Chains A and B, each alone.
Chain A
């Protein structure tokens, strides 16, 4: 049976040790727990004290300044797509990586499609929580769709302009 949701990285399915907690559910001691931003704001001291690791689920409308003081202690940030046309997670991902220096697991969830994953990777996401109809095969295909880019991504690729310069000098 195909599970309701699963987690992939750029190569395919990966194990997921994170446990999503409802706002009123107690945090099991030592577990890796994923909570809402509202709960994190209220209970971060207690959560960091009991849980093994803490992750937060945010939307594209997040004010990153509010999240900033907690970032060093977070093991996972899940950014939610309201719809597949919601472009805010791309900016949020890039800011978390490039401006706020977040280095741990950055995960997209919601109605995005495989064809968007390459762009998400380039904006700093490394894992993807997807539904049963999401094709891991299509994801693999999409990730390989482009090999050169005009812009620099979070992965610090050489841009086309830089590759041209390198070629000229060689």
Chain B
């Protein structure tokens, strides 16, 4: 993975010093809260219902063992002994004191981490496929360009005060695990007919109260011209994006108001003026960064791993876990492991300091010392030998993270909701916990099969409900928490916006309602047909009927 050199470390150190000074001036009253707010947000610090919340950037979801251990230390030293992985591959602490922030940031910087641009109206921490570099169907490891984007977007002099937040995601494969069409800019690395590497550029996707899938503005952008093209997009947005209404300030609204063709024309016209002005990265620098993502030296494993095959036959629990949480690796004899942070009844994405240390130990021993965070709020060990899978599973069982539920109905995404968040209308976490408990039976989960439930506690959609096969949106109805159900959303290469099914349900009713939706699916599915495929085949009617009866 990428390792800072002296230049990167200088920037990181200067950032800590700058924020130390800003906190000091805030505490002395030299900065008003209104002036300080965007500064702390650009360091990841939110003021929530009960305390400050810090969002630590995990660039493109990749962490070293030393970083995971430091995150555990910080959880113990500054928080209440745990952290929370988010839907943007970041980690949040919920109980931070402002006075301690500068020291905390210095601790993060000691392992080349930070909270830069995890909030605020700037280019946010870039996200990428959590299987980057280890799957077979990839054109190029998307973390290389993600690191290029991380550096370019860090403290950009022109684009740090945008109309609204700005999220960029990258996939290196046609199978999209990074939800690129749901981002302000989505990049898909492709090879053209001449064999050259470049990008499909999507612009203007986003969730929130107006869910929009991105527009493809360019079918092929040559790789070496990326940064000038990004600057052209951002310049058009920075100048013409709406600033009068926070709900209409995302780039998706500008694309909609101008129309995709006119927006694209303006971007291309701007780009023509700047593409030869030295904004693009020197190719030598791209090569230098790429070197950090050289795959580890894999052992040549040519024979089937009999110990692994035998263990699956002998141990049904292990076999179930392998069927959901272990994914094909590009190197023979290796596997990718999803560590489920969704134990039955647990809080999605939560992880204690001790569990972080245990995951770090596993990665050090079995996975080339690397851990990934996923936007589904799980972790990944990207480089595990098949021969080691049983030992990994057993150790995960000891720390409570061996649930065989990756991609299944209890692998729920949920935002922090009204338990923590000052924007929320309703609680998300208890709904996730109760759904998880209702469907705890593992055989039943495996029978239901692939099904993504995503829960947001308000219309801002941090729980990605628009992209859930089943989406749940918490709303406030006359002071009561109510939950609306959407069906048919997707975040992959078949991205779609979930459609509202009908009137909402109370907190007491919502889990029963979800069970009815699942029941309707089981009644009408064809053999081996996953939930989303059934929904696409039959539409909402059978589900409506089951939930609301015939009207």
What residues of chain A have their CB less than 8 Å away from a CB belonging to chain B?
Answer: 60, 82, 84-88, 90-92, 94, 98-99, 113, 115-116, 119, 122-123, 135, 138, 141-142, 145-153, 160-165, 168
Contact A151-B157, Cβ < 8 Å, known A91-B235, A99-B273, A161-B282: yes
B420, CB-defined interface residue at 8 Å: no
Contact A135-B30, Cβ < 8 Å, known A122-B157, A141-B21: yes
B238 touches A90 (CB 8 A): yes
Contact A151-B162, Cβ < 8 Å, known A85-B121, A141-B21: no
Contact A85-B161, Cβ < 8 Å, known A91-B238, A99-B273: yes
CB distance from B193 to the nearest CB of A (A): 30
Contact A123-B157, Cβ < 8 Å, known A115-B39, A146-B11: yes
Q: Which residues of A contact B154 (CB under 8 A)?
A: 150
Across the interface, name the chain B residue whose C-beta is closest to A90: B158
B261, CB-defined interface residue at 8 Å: no
Q: Which residues of A contact B10 (CB under 8 A)?
A: 147-148
CB distance from B18 to the nearest CB of A (A): 5
CB distance from A84 to the nearest CB of B (A): 7
* Bound complex: CA A119 to CA B39 (Å): 13
| Residue from the list A90, A147, A162 in contact with B161, Cβ < 8 A | A90
B151, CB-defined interface residue at 8 Å: yes
A91 touches B239 (CB 8 A): yes
CB distance from A100 to the nearest CB of B (A): 11
| Residue from the list B5, B160, B282 in contact with A162, Cβ < 8 A | B282
B463, CB-defined interface residue at 8 Å: no
Across the interface, name the chain A residue whose C-beta is closest to B282: A161
B238 touches A115 (CB 8 A): no
B238 touches A165 (CB 8 A): no
B163, CB-defined interface residue at 8 Å: yes
B313, CB-defined interface residue at 8 Å: no
* Bound complex: CA A30 to CA B320 (Å): 87
CB distance from B28 to the nearest CB of A (A): 11
Q: Which residues of B contact A92 (CB under 8 A)?
A: 239
Across the interface, name the chain A residue whose C-beta is closest to B234: A91
Nearest 9 Cβ contacts at the A-B interface:
A87-B161, A122-B157, A161-B285, A150-B151, A145-B18, A119-B157, A90-B158, A160-B7, A91-B238
B17, CB-defined interface residue at 8 Å: yes
Q: Which residues of B contact A113 (CB under 8 A)?
A: 31, 35
Q: Which residues of A contact B31 (CB under 8 A)?
A: 113
CB distance from A21 to the nearest CB of B (A): 28
CB distance from A168 to the nearest CB of B (A): 8
* Bound complex: CA A75 to CA B288 (Å): 45
B238 touches A147 (CB 8 A): no
B152, CB-defined interface residue at 8 Å: yes
* Bound complex: CA A62 to CA B480 (Å): 47
B288 touches A164 (CB 8 A): yes
* Bound complex: CA A92 to CA B285 (Å): 29
Contact A165-B163, Cβ < 8 Å, known A123-B157, A123-B158: no
B52, CB-defined interface residue at 8 Å: no
B151 touches A91 (CB 8 A): no
Across the interface, name the chain A residue whose C-beta is closest to B277: A98
Contact A148-B35, Cβ < 8 Å, known A90-B158, A119-B160: no
* Bound complex: CA A92 to CA B161 (Å): 13
B157 touches A146 (CB 8 A): no
* Bound complex: CA A153 to CA B156 (Å): 9
B162 touches A87 (CB 8 A): yes
- Once A and B bind, how many residue pairs between them come within 8 Å at the CB atom? 100
B25, CB-defined interface residue at 8 Å: yes
Q: Which residues of B contact A115 (CB under 8 A)?
A: 18, 22, 39
* Bound complex: CA A130 to CA B18 (Å): 21
* Bound complex: CA A168 to CA B288 (Å): 11
Q: Which residues of B contact A148 (CB under 8 A)?
A: 7, 10-11
Across the interface, name the chain A residue whose C-beta is closest to B243: A86
Across the interface, name the chain B residue whose C-beta is closest to A63: B239
Contact A87-B160, Cβ < 8 Å, known A138-B25, A141-B21, A152-B278: yes
B161 touches A86 (CB 8 A): yes
Across the interface, name the chain A residue whose C-beta is closest to B39: A115
Q: Which residues of B contact A151 (CB under 8 A)?
A: 152, 156-157, 279
* Bound complex: CA A2 to CA B30 (Å): 17
* Bound complex: CA A90 to CA B5 (Å): 29
Q: Which residues of A contact B160 (CB under 8 A)?
A: 87, 90, 119
* Bound complex: CA A153 to CA B21 (Å): 24
B38, CB-defined interface residue at 8 Å: yes
A152 touches B279 (CB 8 A): yes
| Residue from the list A85, A98, A161, A163 in contact with B281, Cβ < 8 A | A161
CB distance from B480 to the nearest CB of A (A): 35
B161 touches A150 (CB 8 A): no
B155 touches A146 (CB 8 A): yes
Q: Which residues of B contact A119 (CB under 8 A)?
A: 155, 157-158, 160
Question: Which residues in chain B, 12-56, are within 8 Å of chain A measured between CB atoms?
Answer: 14, 17-18, 21-22, 25, 30-31, 35, 38-39
Most central of A86, A92, A160 by chain B CB within 10 Å: A160
Q: Which residues of B contact A85 (CB under 8 A)?
A: 38, 121, 161, 243
Contact A160-B121, Cβ < 8 Å, known A86-B161, A90-B161, A113-B35: no
B159, CB-defined interface residue at 8 Å: yes
Extra pairs beyond A84-B35, A85-B38, A85-B243 (17, CB < 8 Å): A84-B38, A86-B243, A87-B121, A87-B163, A88-B238, A88-B243, A90-B158, A90-B161, A115-B39, A119-B158, A138-B25, A142-B18, A145-B17, A149-B155, A161-B151, A161-B285, A165-B282
Across the interface, name the chain A residue whose C-beta is closest to B158: A90
| Residue from the list B14, B238, B279, B282 in contact with A145, Cβ < 8 A | B14
Contact A165-B284, Cβ < 8 Å, known A145-B14, A150-B152: yes
* Bound complex: CA A87 to CA B240 (Å): 11
* Bound complex: CA A141 to CA B65 (Å): 36
Provide 23 A-B residue pairs closer than 8 Å at the C-beta atoms, listed in order of the A residue: A85-B38, A88-B243, A90-B238, A91-B158, A91-B239, A94-B158, A98-B277, A113-B35, A115-B22, A123-B158, A135-B30, A141-B21, A148-B11, A149-B157, A150-B152, A150-B154, A150-B156, A151-B152, A160-B8, A161-B151, A161-B285, A164-B7, A165-B285
